Amino acid sequence: MCNEFTCIPGLRLLIIDNDADTREMLYILFNLEGAEALTVGSAREALEVVSDFKPDVLICDLYLSDEMGYSLLPKIRSIEAAKGRWTPAIALTGSTREKDCAYAFTAGFQMYLSKPVNLDELLNKVARLAFDAAHKQLA
């Protein structure tokens, strides 16, 4: 049985980050762990793929080149709600300003992590979010 620290295999992750190196690193990390990761570099791309990809967890940079992650997440949630879905989300950003963290939670992110991110911590947070979301749906 999987617990919050072992639920990475089989997860579908949508990673939204305008930094190509970050996207590649996270793509490799999650695929090596057995997840299916899809990476996009803009809000526009995220909106194009979210319905068909149906991620279990979103990882989104707050400072995208075409839109702020704060405004993107509500749009994604609206698209998902129309299909009866809700996906937990992690804000991942290079900013360490306290107001960014507050804005992220207000926008609907469940977690906030600063870059450079500890990869073990990120794996654990993704697994925990997926585990919690799955158990809420069963309840």
CB 69 within 8 Å of CB 42: no
138 part of a folded domain: no
101 part of a folded domain: yes
For 50-92, the pLDDT digits (tens) are: 999 999 999 999 999 999 999 999 999 999 999 999 999 999 9
135 part of a folded domain: no
Biggest CA–CA distance in the chain, Å, is 41
pTM of the model: 0.91
Integer Cα distance of 113 and 46 in angstroms = 20
- Average of per-residue pLDDT across 119-139: 84
Integer Cα distance of 125 and 70 in angstroms = 19
134 part of a folded domain: no
Q: What is the domain range of residue 62? A: 12-128
Considering its fold, how many domains does the chain have in total?
1
Q: Determine phi and psi for 115, rounding to 5 degrees.
A: -85, 150
The CATH number of the domain where 89 resides is what?
Answer: 3.40.50.2300
- Average of per-residue pLDDT across 37-59: 97
Angle between helices 119-138 and 20-32 (to 10 degrees): 60
Structure tokens at 104: 């992220």
4 part of a folded domain: no
For 81-117, the pLDDT digits (tens) are: 999 999 999 999 887 778 888 899 999 999 999 999 9
